[in-house]
Amino acid sequence: MKQGDAVVVLDDLSSGHRENLTGLDVEVIEGDIAMPDIAERATRGANVIFHLAASVGNARSLADPVRDTMTNAVGTLRLLEAARRHGVRKFVYSSSAGIFGELSHPPIREDHPINPQTPYGASKLAGEKLALAYSQQFGLEAICLRYFNVYGRNQRYDAYGNVIPIFMKWINDGSPLRIYGDGLQTRDFVNVADVVQANCRAANAHGVWGAFNIASATSVTINELAALMLKLAGKDLPIEHVVPRPGDVRHSLADISAARAAFGYEPRVSLDQGLATYVDWATA
């Protein structure tokens, strides 16, 4: 986005933190995107909407599937309706690799079979399909960015959240790191700086709509991740292997060639670099 754009932030602060916006010249609206009046207020006068609001994670959705669907599906529909009424040009939707379910042949392209295995994956797919339907019917340019495992500065501990802040909390507490299963499952971690890059490039890609993988196009086992984080933190803590969780995929690795071709996305932050920055922030 061009420097000097007016920015409105809508957040119910259920997982976000207002202090993350300290020093930024933005208007903040506190509210639920599933409420029509809130969506209407936030989108009025907008040219681009970055829709990042979500109830995130397979485990959280299994614990409360109704809330998951209200936020991820109904909330998305509320924003799309408001966007249509106000003539918004671009709708950048934060989708998820969770829509694919178990991956049959990584690295995966966007045309990999879609078979979500949790309410989270299903609700994110519903939001994606709604956004693309609005593109076809109402001329709204919707780009759905299928994030893989996002991590980075300001990402705080959440029992249902990403493994990296969970490991970081245990490291700071001096507790054993618990790994579900044998730890040989792989994940494609993408730094938040690269996700920001993808969003900005997508917003400025005129005439482009559709769904695109956003990832690092590299993978690491959870065992390797734990070892790297302990090394960066200078800690020697035990690792415990526990029973695998339902809904977790075994392997994850993305093909990002479509995003590269469509709007020039190119990941720039390696896992070693990104984790070093994150560990420094989390231990400060």
For 33, the token pair is 């995107």
* DSSP, residue by residue, 230-263: HHHHT----EEEEPPPTT--S---B--HHHHHHH
For 232, the token pair is 């960066």
Q: Length of the chain in residues, anyone? A: 284
Note the maximum CA span of the chain.
Answer: 56
The answer to whether 146 and 97 are in contact (CB under 8 A) is yes
- Rounded Cα distance, 97 and 214, in Å: 9
**Considering 120, 147, 151, 265, which one is annotated as catalytic?**
120
Has 134 been annotated as catalytic? no
Written as one letter, the residue type at 213 is: N
- Rounded Cα distance, 245 and 59, in Å: 8
For 202, the token pair is 């997508």
* Catalytic positions, written as ranges: 120
